[in-house]
């Protein structure tokens, strides 16, 4: 906990996100200890808390109210309950709930003047995240898992096992709520937690969760390095127009494939798209091997990618291939509605 706050520059005001489950309740208990002392290593600190009611289960309002009462007893102040509507986003119920929850947490932090939001994810959550990424064939960024610090989000318990948070609740005599959806086989994460991880531990021996979490830590460094290179590459080649952006084919071809795919993804995000999967990215990248105008390739978030031939004037101005390559550009445009 102290390391997490130190890495954030010792914020004076923090917000604990608590569902009432053992992980976040244990986190709230630890945070309340420092809040009662009023400082961490001599740096002043106070803590508020928020409970997000997703309204996805019967009785969720009562669970939220009960959790809020526990948080008030711990001394966190103020404690808010935020009731949200989880709208379908087309990316599954878990993603929709996460997006709605994070929006509520951001709003609560703003209202309560908190610089950082603390989440109760554990090492077990990290291991499950990496395993799900492997099963889905995701890239480096996904396999890097959750970060201990990302923006205003802090996860101080990423080094703790779930059994340890249960022990904290037991020692502090806290009545934790156990979310029934965590054992619901309808959700991939629940199946991973209840069915897959125990089998791996049984067949491969103890330490699987720690190994998966260590893999995430290693890949985070690799992902950060590639992200930095891709950001610099994109900034050096992007051309903006009134209705989108375009990238010179020659400059893209000179990039290593790992960077080329990331630069294409950045262009899609730049015009308002969502992170493309590998298949869509590969289809967009394949336009570089076409002759003349080609496309469009549709990317998530209503983004279309085209290959267009460069005019003579554009060939002189753009960073083209050094020898023998085509003279074209990839154009990225966002549409208000899906293109057919």
Q: What is the spatial distance between Cα 108 and Cα 120, in angstroms, rounded to a whole number?
A: 17
What confidence tens digit (pLDDT) does each residue in 95-127 have?
Answer: 788 888 999 999 999 999 999 999 999 999 999
For 128, counting Cβ atoms within 10 Å of its Cβ (0-12 exposed, 13-18 middle, 19+ buried), the class is: buried
Q: What is the spatial distance between Cα 24 and Cα 105, in angstroms, rounded to a whole number?
A: 14
Q: Kindly indicate the confidence band of residue 332, based on its pLDDT and cuts at 50, 70 and 90.
A: very high
> Annotated binding residue at 206?
no
Closest CA to 265 of 325, 208, 223: 223
For 118, counting Cβ atoms within 10 Å of its Cβ (0-12 exposed, 13-18 middle, 19+ buried), the class is: buried
| % residues pLDDT > 90 (the chain) | 65
pLDDT given at position 94: 73
Q: Which stretch of DSSP H or E encloses residue 24?
A: helix 22-37
Lowest-confidence segment of 6-15, 51-60, 245-254, 320-329 by average pLDDT:
320-329
> Annotated binding residue at 22?
yes
Superfamily grouping for domain 2-217: HUPs (3.40.50.620)
By DSSP bridging, strand 294-299 and strand 244-248 are: unpaired
pLDDT given at position 7: 85
Domain boundaries, the chain: 2-217, 238-334
CATH code for residues 238-334: 3.30.465
> Annotated binding residue at 19?
yes
pLDDT given at position 336: 74
> Annotated binding residue at 337?
no
Q: Kindly indicate the confidence band of residue 89, based on its pLDDT and cuts at 50, 70 and 90.
A: low
Distances, alpha carbon 186 to alpha carbons 23, 71, 80, 213, in Å:
22, 31, 30, 25
Tokens of residue 68, six digits: 């809020």
Lowest-confidence segment of 56-70, 82-96, 174-188 by average pLDDT:
82-96
Most confident range (mean pLDDT) of 47-51, 53-57, 293-297, 307-311 is: 47-51
Backbone angles phi, psi at 104, to 5 degrees: -65, -40
Q: Kindly indicate the confidence band of residue 5, based on its pLDDT and cuts at 50, 70 and 90.
A: confident
> Annotated binding residue at 181?
no
């Amino acid at each position: 906990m102290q390391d997490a706050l130190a890495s954030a520059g010792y914020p004076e005001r923090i917000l604990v996100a608590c569902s009432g489950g053992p992980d976040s309740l244990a986190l709230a208990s630890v945070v309340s200890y420092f809040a009662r002392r009023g400082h961490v290593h001599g740096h002043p600190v106070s803590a508020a808390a928020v409970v997000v009611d997703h309204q996805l289960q019967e009785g969720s309002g009562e669970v939220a109210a009960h959790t809020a009462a526990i948080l008030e007893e711990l001394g966190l102040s103020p404690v808010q309950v935020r009731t949200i509507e989880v709208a379908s986003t087309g990316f599954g119920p878990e993603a929709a709930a996460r997006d709605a929850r994070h929006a509520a947490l951001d709003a609560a932090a703003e209202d309560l003047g908190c610089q950082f939001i603390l989440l109760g994810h554990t090492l077990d959550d990290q291991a499950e995240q990496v395993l799900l990424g492997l099963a889905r064939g995701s890239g480096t960024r996904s396999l890097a898992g959750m970060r201990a610090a990302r923006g205003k989000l802090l996860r101080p318990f990423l080094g703790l096992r779930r059994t340890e948070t249960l022990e904290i609740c037991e020692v502090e005599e806290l009545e934790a709520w156990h979310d029934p959806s965590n054992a619901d086989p309808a959700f991939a994460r629940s199946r991973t937690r209840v069915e897959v991880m125990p089998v791996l531990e049984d067949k491969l021996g103890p330490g699987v969760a720690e190994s998966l979490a260590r893999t995430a830590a290693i890949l985070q460094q690799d992902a950060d390095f590639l992200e930095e290179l891709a950001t610099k590459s994109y900034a050096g080649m992007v051309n903006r127009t009134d209705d989108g952006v375009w990238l010179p084919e020659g400059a893209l071809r000179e990039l290593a494939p790992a960077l080329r795919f990331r630069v294409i993804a950045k262009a899609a995000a730049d015009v308002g798209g969502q992170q493309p999967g590998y298949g869509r990215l590969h289809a967009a990248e394949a336009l570089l091997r076409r002759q003349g105008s080609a496309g469009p390739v549709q990317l998530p978030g209503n983004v279309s990618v085209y290959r267009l031939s460069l005019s003579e004037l554009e060939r002189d101005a753009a960073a083209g291939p050094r020898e023998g390559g085509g003279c074209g550009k990839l154009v990225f445009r966002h549409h208000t509605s899906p293109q057919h």
